[in-house]
Amino acid sequence: MSIAQERMDTATKKSISHQPDFLLRLYERMMLIRQFEEGIKFLFLEGIMPGTIHQCHGQEATAVGVCFALRPDDFITSTFRSHGHALAKGLTMQELLNELFGAKTGCCTGKGGSMHVGNMSKGMIPAIAIVGGGIPVAAGMALAFKMQKTDRVAASFFGDGAVAEGAFHEGVNMAAIWDLPVVFVCENNLYGASTHISKVMRDTNIARRATNYGIRGQQVDGNDVLAVYEATKAAVEECRAGEGPVLLELLTYRRTGHSRRDPAHYQPKDEREAWFAKDPIDRFAEVLKRRGTIDDAGLEAIKADIVRRFNEAVEIAKREPHPTLADLTTDVYV
């Protein structure tokens, strides 16, 4: 048995209390994200959908594992690589597709686009494309939650590229000194655009940085959705109890380029193959089958249903009305 297999089994045993329907929801949401990203890739390449996209192929377990450990009234911040986070937090494919098509019925009325999706009523502040930009914002939201005497939590997604930004230091430090309820979620996918982390930091263990701020840090297998869920659940509980913040480093890998025009030639073949063998969706499918939760036909049916719903949503998004000139001055500060 491989080490990855053993780790997955340990996580599964720990989570034995999880009901089959919960496990299937985790799987379904990861597959939804995978198919969404796959589908919009073709819409973009065919010139049907405007703008650019940053896909999260291979990182589905981080989005789903974290967001499923949060309540609907908890908040997340996200980055340019935001679709998975949004779908995991409960935004619908339709409101996202409408936004990506620039329609007025999009989650940000067509004014945000791919890099700025969000929905305040669903606990997602529109995504921020400035690397590290969401970190102090999450700390600020957590300060508001604390001042309002609620037990809500903010979780901030950011990449490995963000930890050398000043915003990381400021945001984490302030959250630490004020015991703010923030889960800092670093999705360490080894690259910031085309640059390997070893070229931008001497110590590539990001979780260890937590010690310097006097908070708890933890490295987690980010391609194991149950491990991510359990780690986040524990961090969230600490935050609700006033013991936060916590820094989670989720080790993962993106299967595609940084953005759609990047063929990712800088990712060595053996490295790609090793990570592809640890694909979060394939691995979880194996766990579910071993436990007898579902069989291959059931998994195929889940995927087929998602593809059908995606295609229907695309047809609707294509016909949705776009903002008019009069909409230019609505929802803006003057």
Positions that interact with ligand TPP (CB under 6 A): 80-81, 129-131, 159-162, 189, 191-193, 258
Taking the complex as a whole, the smallest distance from the CB of residue 39 to ligand TPP amounts, in Å, to 20
- Tokens 């640890």 belong to residue: 278
Amino acid letter at 197? I
Q: Which two tokens stand for residue 136?
A: 């102090």
Decide if 266 contacts 257 (C-beta within 8 A). no
State which residue, 135 or 306, has the beta carbon closest to ligand TPP. Answer: 135
Decide if 73 contacts 141 (C-beta within 8 A). no
Return the one option of Mg ion, ligand TPP, none that residue 58 interacts with (CB less than 5 to 8 A, by type). Answer: none
Q: Where are the alpha helices (DSSP H) in 277-329?
A: 280-290, 296-319
Return the one option of ligand TPP, Mg ion, none that residue 231 interacts with (CB less than 5 to 8 A, by type). Answer: none
State which residue, 139 or 288, has the beta carbon closest to ligand TPP. Answer: 139
DSSP 119: B
Taking the complex as a whole, the smallest distance from the CB of residue 19 to Mg ion amounts, in Å, to 34
Contacts of 278 (CB under 8 A, 6+ apart): 4, 223, 253
State which residue, 136 or 192, has the beta carbon closest to Mg ion. Answer: 192
**Other Cβ atoms closer than 10 A to 64:** 30
Q: Does 132 bind Mg ion (CB under 5 A)?
A: no
Taking the complex as a whole, the smallest distance from the CB of residue 273 to ligand TPP amounts, in Å, to 19
Taking the complex as a whole, the smallest distance from the CB of residue 5 to ligand TPP amounts, in Å, to 27
State which residue, 105 or 204, has the beta carbon closest to ligand TPP. Answer: 204
State which residue, 159 or 181, has the beta carbon closest to Mg ion. Answer: 159
Q: Which stretch binds Mg ion (CB under 5 A): 135-143, 184-192, 209-217, 311-319?
A: 184-192
Return the one option of Mg ion, ligand TPP, none that residue 102 interacts with (CB less than 5 to 8 A, by type). Answer: none
For residue 217, count CB atoms less than 10 angstroms from its CB and return exposed for 0-12, middle for 13-18, buried for 19 or more: buried
Q: Which stretch binds Mg ion (CB under 5 A): 42-50, 187-195, 224-232, 261-269?
A: 187-195
Q: Tell me the three state secondary structure of residue 244.
A: coil
Instruction: Round to whole Å and give the CA distance between 109 and 218.
Output: 38
Quick one: which of 112, 123, 136, 159 contacts Mg ion (CB under 5 A)? 159
Return the one option of Mg ion, ligand TPP, none that residue 97 interacts with (CB less than 5 to 8 A, by type). Answer: none
Among candidate residues 130, 133, 262, 271, the one with its CA nearest the CA of residue 198: 271
Amino acid letter at 265? H
Decide if 62 contacts 252 (C-beta within 8 A). yes
Taking the complex as a whole, the smallest distance from the CB of residue 235 to Mg ion amounts, in Å, to 20
DSSP 82: -
State which residue, 23 or 88, has the beta carbon closest to ligand TPP. Answer: 88
Return the one option of ligand TPP, Mg ion, none that residue 81 interacts with (CB less than 5 to 8 A, by type). Answer: ligand TPP
Build a one-symbol-per-residue string for 188-207: x at contacts with Mg ion by CB under 5 A, - elsewhere: -x--x---------------
Among candidate residues 46, 26, 110, the one with its CA nearest the CA of residue 284: 26
| Cα distances (Å, whole numbers) of residue 265 to 193, 199, 261 | 11, 17, 12
Instruction: Round to whole Å and give the CA distance between 266 and 264.
Output: 5
Return the one option of Mg ion, ligand TPP, none that residue 129 interacts with (CB less than 5 to 8 A, by type). Answer: ligand TPP
Taking the complex as a whole, the smallest distance from the CB of residue 23 to ligand TPP amounts, in Å, to 27
Instruction: Round to whole Å and give the CA distance between 235 and 247.
Output: 8
State which residue, 48 or 193, has the beta carbon closest to ligand TPP. Answer: 193
Quick one: which of 37, 74, 160, 279 contacts Mg ion (CB under 5 A)? 160
In the complex, which residues of this chain contact Mg ion (CB under 5 A)?
159-160, 189, 192
